[in-house]
Amino acid sequence: MYKIHAGLWDSSNKVDTFTAPANVGVSWSHQQLGVDRVEVDIVAFNMEDLWRRQRDHMGLRMAVYLPSYRGRPITGNVTSISLIAGNIVRYVARIKPRFDGRLNTTAYAETDTVSDTIEGIVSVYSQLGVTDFSQIQSNPTQLGGWSPTQPNGSRLSTSIKQLVDKSDASDNRYYFYFRDERFSGTTPQSWQPVYEAVSISREPDWFVNARDLRRLQQSRELTAYTTNAQVSFGTSTGTHTGAIGSPNLVDGAANFVTLGVKSGDKVLNLTTGGQTNVTSVTVTVLTCDGGSTGTTFATGDAYAVQLQQPIGTAVATPATPLYWRSDFVENRKEMTNAQALQYAGSKIANTAEQFVGFTISSPFVRNRNGATVPLFQMIAEGGGYIRIEDLYPSPILFGEGADTLTTFLITGLKFDYTSNSMTVQIDNKNQDLDARLAEQNILRTLQVDRFPNFDPVTPTRTPGANPPPVPVGRR
């Protein structure tokens, strides 16, 4: 068993050290953009000690880490200190209140790329002091008019999730999360954003065996089943054909009256990023107030008009519903027709989604260098890819890549120090793992325990039945 330490920092000054916490728990997921919650339980001396901690430690940066400050820590800012039982005090730390505190109201040019925009949002709005953007992978997909919800703006997490949903020209899916940089001496540093495309060929980060796992879970759900998606949109785009420096928008090819533009609607200059408001409408001219920054238009500037009411509906459906019809309807006035059509298409799910998870009960995993490391490091390094090396008998790997059968992208992790176990959620929605197991006759192993004539405790032979199989990983 390895030890985990915890500590509190006020900027670069260490305030307190917990060398023997009663328990440590950490939850991490792509959905939460990294570490969602860090819990550290310690023993308080008395009620006065509890009150002192509640008075002095709120908002401080808490880190859990391996002795000697090796590897990456897992940190957050203390948001809760409470007495949970007897004299056990629980510290709860999170980073989301810090990176999600400011509203993003920037109007972006439609030619801005997804990866550059993500970097800009994190740099300006995260309040994390990020300086290392080396792990933001290039995605040249253009925004095409995307912008945060106006005029109130969007939280960083909302903007990032919307941008992560945009694939590239090869239709690759992406994911994003924050992870801690390594210690500088004994002081935690900033956080590092990671933005990468999902890959089935990348070398795994972690390796485990089937005997290291328990509670292998496989399920299919129709919760996201959608066969008819209708997305109403309220944004129209075009090009300014009027004079340079005009505060008013002119488009000789438009009919703003027929479109339904009204006083109070918003206009974004997608070329410059400026925003203004409509005060009156004619067929080809929108008189505007210049907004708070004196927005003007030059000949050839691209623009977007966001109406208060929907101007159309984009519809996406599969060829034939697999089970029954299931509708999805949403109003997204900040989208154009093309964006709404793409968004509606992304909502179509004509098959059952598969969810796979398991718990690693071994105290250690192997990293890509073959070294044995504590489970704790899986979260500290930001998940990655995990391979279950003996999930399939080796002959099955011939003719089909091992990566698609035994290697999975980690999408969620929950660590418990007391039991020294890690619950792992993996992305396997498009690989039909249970169908593969049935096809390869692997469902008859001890791993999943579905063989009707086989008792995993006292193996017996039922007359006329096939002999019990040899469990995977125990040949």
Contact 167, 174 (CB under 8 A): yes
Residue 463: pLDDT over 70 = no
Per-residue pLDDT tens over the stretch 359-392:
898 889 999 999 999 999 999 999 999 988 876 5
- If 0-12 CB within 10 Å is exposed, 13-18 middle and 19+ buried, where does residue 55 land? exposed
- Of the candidates 183, 184, 170, the residue with the CA atom closest to the CA atom of residue 141: 170
Which of 270 and 145 is assigned the larger pLDDT?
Answer: 270
Q: What does the pLDDT average to over 410-418?
A: 92
pLDDT of residue 412: 93
Backbone angles phi, psi at 447, to 5 degrees: -55, -50
pLDDT of residue 451: 31
Contact 388, 375 (CB under 8 A): no
pLDDT of residue 217: 66
User: Coil, strand, or helix at residue 186?
Assistant: coil
* Beta strand ranges found along 19-163 (DSSP E): 23-29, 34-43, 61-65, 74-85, 88-94, 103-104, 154-155
Per-residue pLDDT tens over the stretch 444-461:
444 433 333 333 333 333
- Of the candidates 314, 318, 316, 317, the residue with the CA atom closest to the CA atom of residue 339: 314
Per-residue pLDDT tens over the stretch 79-121:
999 999 889 999 999 998 888 888 888 878 888 999 999 999 9
pLDDT of residue 151: 60
- If 0-12 CB within 10 Å is exposed, 13-18 middle and 19+ buried, where does residue 429 land? middle
Give me Rg for the CA atoms of the chain: 27
State how far the Cα of 320 lies from the Cα of 420, in Å rounded to an integer.
48
pLDDT of residue 434: 52
Q: How confident is the model at residue 308 (pLDDT cuts 50, 70, 90)?
A: confident
Fill in the DSSP letter of residue 337: H
Per-residue pLDDT tens over the stretch 236-258:
999 999 999 999 999 999 999 99
Per-residue pLDDT tens over the stretch 156-179:
998 999 899 888 888 788 999 999
State how far the Cα of 73 lies from the Cα of 66, in Å rounded to an integer.
8
Q: How confident is the model at residue 404 (pLDDT cuts 50, 70, 90)?
A: low
Per-residue pLDDT tens over the stretch 40-53:
999 999 999 999 99
Per-residue pLDDT tens over the stretch 6-45:
999 998 899 999 989 999 999 999 999 999 999 999 999 9
Residue 398: pLDDT over 60 = no
439 contact partners, CB below 8 Å, separation of at least 6: none
Mean residue pLDDT across the chain:
83
Q: What does the pLDDT average to over 262-288?
A: 92
User: Coil, strand, or helix at residue 21?
Assistant: coil
Q: How confident is the model at residue 471 (pLDDT cuts 50, 70, 90)?
A: very low
Contact 34, 43 (CB under 8 A): no
Would you list the domain boundaries of the chain? 5-94, 99-197, 206-222+353-444, 228-347
pTM (two decimals): 0.69
